[in-house]
Structure 1
């Protein structure tokens, strides 16, 4: 058997070629085809991952690995000796090939990828011979990640199979799509250059991001790469180097352009121009104007036009109109962020009229850092990006960002796409190009030979003209947690990543202390204060000798997990270089600020300490508080002044807070330094229950 010779078919499956295989044997077959050998079954790390209570020692490791790879779904029992149906084996194979619908659309996918014929009865028990045929057929099937890479080709790149053996198995090279234009899209990367290899395994990391894009381009030569902004800020890897590794990733993927995210301003707008130059890409923003010149800013272009496969693609950049309240005031005070709908209409009209020196585009794309969301069940798309689809005539595609959501659908027949965040998904847009060659006879005049009077006579010749037209625009989203196990890292990007880790290791990996339990911070929770929010506020209040502390929820980015706490953790939890800002504030203004942070409609709820608050969740936003006192129960008096501490972002109006009534203001040290000092001093920190905010309507 050719598969056995190629070490892709295990002899662990019992019986003759015609014998039926069990469910346990089916799992082993697929793992073997992926290059895993018998020794994985005894590895403790895989045995521990086994999710089935009835698994025997003969399969525990295999099932743990299969669960980790997403091949099997968790359940109480597995029934390893039960006969495997053909559709069960096909589901395993398709999942191994990264098809997200492998267990819901098994038959259609299996036929489409050539694993079986339409006439096959896939509900029958599968024989060993049939299983071998399915595995062999899978080598010519494409991976479900949009790259058109054959499974067999992946096995060669991964070092599991030699090119000679692949050829002997009859695997043909993937066909290139030379006609259509493709867009690879990502957004809100936030410096997440490290691959997430434990837990939910969602973040792709820079080496696999570059590897995926370059693999895609190998079979889709007419591809451009676009980003929705918020590329740099968010992790110790990026923050400690002011974005150095992200720039290397952008350049490694040959990124064409990026929208300007609100977090692009976190270290001052001056960084934006340098990132674009070093990364060899353009920032696009048609609605950011310089207040001094009343013209679009010099460090970003309103639009660009690029020609691919005979099609001119116009790309208009749009920043979020709320950027002034989402960035430090001093970093954006010289810029005007205009209504994106009005700006889009203005620049679409400009491009459609043919005024651009590059000519009139065939397709116009809005590359934005503007939010969208999508209902999981109804697929309805909401958010500010829908205004562009509904109110801007002439837009063919809206690329959304900012809200960290997976969005893929149409509004007003205009595709809207958002690729989650942190490299946890990749967006793919296909411009289906219709290429036609038109032949036409044209009458031409030519000089007659040997004619002294140079007389002319008529002649006909055939002139060929090629026309290009976009017939359709299709969008897809690929979940990184599903596809990334088969992405081969870019060697160059991986080398860069490894060297960077060595450079920043001492600071990033410094252990500050320990958390006895997790300080949870679920940013989607509404109407309360998180455990992390309480701790941060109390540390800030103690440092500033303030009665009350207020912290915007979005200023804290993730849960502080149980166990050792490193400096890298603190950079991820509080990536912003915000400063401790103390003030005297009247009771009525404190109440207003706390009310503002409850059930916030478009961002994470605020956190506070030093108060006891009761509110009615059924009342309108901003008018929910029914009772507010100090921690000792003393009523908060409207006209009395209290010492309050927050961060300079919030003090400057960030997230819509209003501290205009503050007096005796003092700005001191970075809040991250305060948190680091508190951990080092305590050595072990323990979360406290949040019992000082209550929704009386519940």
Structure 2
């Protein structure tokens, strides 16, 4: 007896971060990625394959000036990201950690405007224990009777980073335990032939060796899902902004499509029907680049009004600069104090009243400020919707934090200071290297990790280990984010709920003209070279 066969294609986007149109908000230059380009790829895939499902794996609502403008300046217009996802007829979406950045009412409004369900089995109502967003999973029956089950999971590490008021009433459960609970339900009660887990999280171990690639905090548990949960056919991942395809772990097909619409994740399942029903006989993952695809013109028209208003807002002048605050080398700006970083720390100190501040140069794209400062420059340099907290910490906490930041560097084979490879892969973590104001310090990278702080003073006197100091930092770092465990749980002296973008803009407007300054209160050195 001949067996019936068919093909099912799963399509995934993840970590779009509001990047819809293929152009830079900082420079207005064309970009080879974005959801508008991905849309063209999706439509081509649907023409090629009869049975497709399209899933967004989270972190779509935050990340560009467009999304900031909608959330913070003018939310009366339709949500531009949701409008585009609806236009492309997504089958489901999973909330990522950045979905909570603008608060629950904003997220719930976006979900209500969606023509597709949002799935998360492990984010539950703290009082009832039931899935907070209605559906833990979706089972979609294709035209030929194949039943595809999609389970939504989200990194449970969100309470470490997020403002408490943004996640009030929610409990974030272990994704592995949630998968072990719901997958048997999907198989037995829903008769799902295929189990797809869409997890907004990544891999905590090397995909080849199984060795840990990061502290096992629970932020990423993709490897554990593959190893410890029975019945998963496909694991769609994200969060780490990695490009992963053509891989499997313990027989589970895995994929991760980088970020900002650089790739469309594609999983092809070959199915076969027997007397027992449909079975997966082969599975293959790949990444389809958006770069060669022309942007879908529908998207330009769809968000034209809010895009025009965003561009007008970005061009509003805030002030001027006397001197040079442009970032020509991001690496150099982390080796030796740059006027941009001194400025950001000074704004934090001004807004909080604290005498000590730490801040990071988040990425290798921040342009700094030219002679004329507009909102475009501000949001290009400060890309996250962070707020500020003042923590009361000890001198030993500050030293431990400096030692942690010093891990960002290494002395390479040529005897030169370079970025530690662990901060570049599997995910760039430039945002986990802080630069400080209000203290004087030296980091000697030739010394072993944990012993690199060779000078630590305040007002010309050594910082006392047991003494207490008030330090202002962003809410992510204040929560211990980035493995800065020394800050977790410390007393909050002051909470400044205003976004840093607003604080920066207000500071510049009030003064009108900034004077570039650098006090060189810190140094990064190679003691072997100096010796």
Q: Normalising TM by the smaller chain, what interval?
A: 0.7 to 0.9
- SS at 1:283's partner residue? coil
Q: Does 1:426 align with 2:236?
A: no
Offset, 1:683 = 4.0
Give CA deviations for 1:67-108 in whole Å, capped at 9, x if unaligned. xxxxxxxxxxxxxxxxxxxxxxxxxxxxxxxxxxxxxxxxxx
- SS at 1:217's partner residue? helix
Offset, 1:322 = 1.2
Q: Say whether the 8 Å CA contact 1:381–1:411 is kept in structure 2.
A: no
CA distance in 2 between partners of 1:423 and 1:689 (Å): 41
1:61-76, aligned counterparts within 5 Å? none
Q: Does 1:665 align with 2:494?
A: yes
- SS at 1:645's partner residue? strand
Q: Say whether the 8 Å CA contact 2:440–2:455 is kept in structure 1.
A: yes
- SS at 2:253's partner residue? strand
Partner of 2:227: 390
Partner of 1:501: 307
CA distance in 2 between partners of 1:301 and 1:530 (Å): 48
Offset, 1:422 = 0.8
CA distance in 2 between partners of 1:401 and 1:526 (Å): 28
1:74-113, aligned counterparts within 5 Å? none
CA distance in 2 between partners of 1:508 and 1:617 (Å): 40
- SS at 1:282's partner residue? coil
CA distance in 2 between partners of 1:416 and 1:427 (Å): 10
Partner of 2:376: 568
CA distance in 2 between partners of 1:268 and 1:340 (Å): 22
Offset, 1:370 = 0.8
Q: Say whether the 8 Å CA contact 1:522–1:530 is kept in structure 2.
A: no
Q: Say whether the 8 Å CA contact 1:552–1:650 is kept in structure 2.
A: no
Offset, 1:557 = 8.5
Deviates more, 1:626-635 or 1:222-231: 626-635
Give the counterpart of 2:461 among 619, 622, 634.
Answer: 634
Offset, 1:318 = 1.1
- SS at 1:295's partner residue? coil
Offset, 1:584 = 4.8
Q: CA 1:669–1:467 in structure 2 vs 1: closer, same or farther (change >3 Å)? A: closer
CA distance in 2 between partners of 1:644 and 1:690 (Å): 19
Offset, 1:277 = 2.6
- SS at 2:177's partner residue? helix
Q: Does 1:511 align with 2:317?
A: yes
Q: Does 1:188 align with 2:15?
A: yes
Partner of 1:475: 285
CA distance in 1 between partners of 2:179 and 2:198 (Å): 10
Give the counterpart of 1:248 among 83, 101, 104.
Answer: 83
Q: Does 1:645 align with 2:472?
A: yes
TM-score by length of structure 1 reads 0.61
- SS at 1:360's partner residue? coil
Higher relative contact order (CA closer than 8 Å, sequence separation 6+) = 2
CA distance in 2 between partners of 1:343 and 1:528 (Å): 46
Q: Say whether the 8 Å CA contact 2:349–2:472 is kept in structure 1.
A: yes
- SS at 2:348's partner residue? helix
Give CA deviations for 1:320-364 in whole Å, capped at 9, x if unaligned. 121111211222253222222222122222223x12xxx211111
Offset, 1:186 = 0.9
Offset, 1:545 = 4.1
Q: Does 1:281 align with 2:108?
A: no
Offset, 1:685 = 6.5
TM-score by length of structure 2 reads 0.78
Give CA deviations for 1:392-439 in whole Å, capped at 9, x if unaligned. 121111111111111112222322111100111111111123468xxx
- SS at 2:296's partner residue? coil
Give the counterpart of 1:264 among 78, 99, 104.
Answer: 99
- SS at 1:637's partner residue? coil
Q: CA 1:557–1:685 in structure 2 vs 1: closer, same or farther (change >3 Å)? A: farther
Q: CA 1:508–1:541 in structure 2 vs 1: closer, same or farther (change >3 Å)? A: same
Offset, 1:249 = 1.1
The structure richer in strand per residue is 2
Work out the number of aligned pairs and report it.
Answer: 482
Partner of 1:415: 253
Q: Does 1:223 align with 2:29?
A: no
Partner of 1:363: 194
Q: Does 1:214 align with 2:43?
A: yes
- SS at 2:43's partner residue? helix
The gaps in structure 1 that reach 5 residues or longer are 1-177, 437-464
Partner of 2:504: 675
1:497-646, aligned counterparts within 5 Å? 497-512=303-318, 513=320, 516=324, 518-519=326-327, 532-551=340-359, 558-561=365-368, 563=370, 565-582=373-390, 584-599=392-407, 603=429, 604-607=431-434, 608-615=436-443, 623-624=450-451, 626-630=453-457, 632-646=459-473
- SS at 2:303's partner residue? helix
The gaps in structure 2 that reach 5 residues or longer are 72-77, 214-219, 409-421, 424-428
Q: Say whether the 8 Å CA contact 2:238–2:257 is kept in structure 1.
A: yes
